[in-house]
Amino acid sequence: MNALLREPLAPFYRPVSTECALFETAHAKGLPLLLKGPTGCGKTRFVEHMAAKLGRPLYTVACHDDLSAADLIGRYLLRGGATEWVDGPLTRAVREGAICYLDEVVEARKDVTVVLHPLTDNRRTLMIDRTGEELVAPPGFMLVASYNPGYQNILKRLKPSTRQRFLSISFTFPDPVTEAAVVARESGLAEARVQPLVRLAGHIRALSGMDLEEGVSTRLLIYAASLIAGGMALDKALEAAVIEPLTDEPDVAQALRDLVASVYG
């Protein structure tokens, strides 16, 4: 949950539509943005790329079941026998006019959304009850959140009253040509050797009736390609970077191995 001050050269990201223009406009207008899409499809890299492109500090928070509003806002800590207030990442982002990215926001505790609401309307304020401060977000501050709709259930989902406070973009896996270019660029593996990996990913994502919560992510393809580029045998690389991460079920793992054999046979 530390600020990442990016170098002038933005992290690599290949646009697939108008998402970069929408982000720039939302930032200029002080509007919050919600990114929806499966794990490993590029949501976090997109935010990192845009923060660097816009020259703004970025605070990234990986949300989880125990993340509370106090974790975002801050708390008093005992230091040297005295209590001292320490800002949380959201408070620091508001003070600095930075971008705050809440990754998988639906995983956080319910009190988090109460804190976010005043920052996502015309007030653009953050109330710190413990210190009595009311911070008004300066130009440059932007709230970005993401979640994976495929994992939603009745206990973990964004309420309509929260979703409708954000602009939204739906992310999915890139088309094969774009994905091959991204994997080759990130892994250092020749694009001709990446293309079968991308075909394999397409087959896995198209599977139905198997015990897979999601298809293989672009991130895992980059891992596999990186292992291959480093000299690891193809079957070992795919076992470690694709098959084992996707399932713990022996029969499903064997079905995936059979699919690998059909693609590379």
SS (H, E, C) 132-159: CEEEECCCCCEEEEEECHHHCECCECCC
Number of CB atoms found within 10 A of residue 76's CB: 13
Contact 51, 11 (CB under 8 A): no
Residues 26-54 have a mean pLDDT of: 95
Domain boundaries, the chain: 3-170, 176-264
Q: Which residue has the tokens 């230091």?
A: 79
Kindly give the residue spans of alpha helices, DSSP state H, lying in the chain. 19-29, 43-54, 69-73, 89-96, 111-116, 160-163, 176-187, 191-206, 218-229, 234-238, 244-246, 250-264
Output the CA torsion 8→4→64→21 (10° steps).
Answer: -30
Q: Up-side HSE of residue 106: CA atoms within 13 Å toward CB?
A: 20
Query: According to the CATH classification, is domain 3-170 in 3.40.50.2000?
Result: no
pLDDT band at 100; cut points 50, 70, 90: very high
Residues 215-241 have a mean pLDDT of: 96
Per-residue pLDDT, 4: 47
Per-residue pLDDT, 1: 47
Per-residue pLDDT, 227: 98
Per-residue pLDDT, 242: 96
DSSP secondary structure code for residue 214 in this structure:
S
pTM above 0.85, yes or no: yes
Q: Is the pLDDT of residue 108 over 90?
A: yes
Per-residue pLDDT, 2: 46
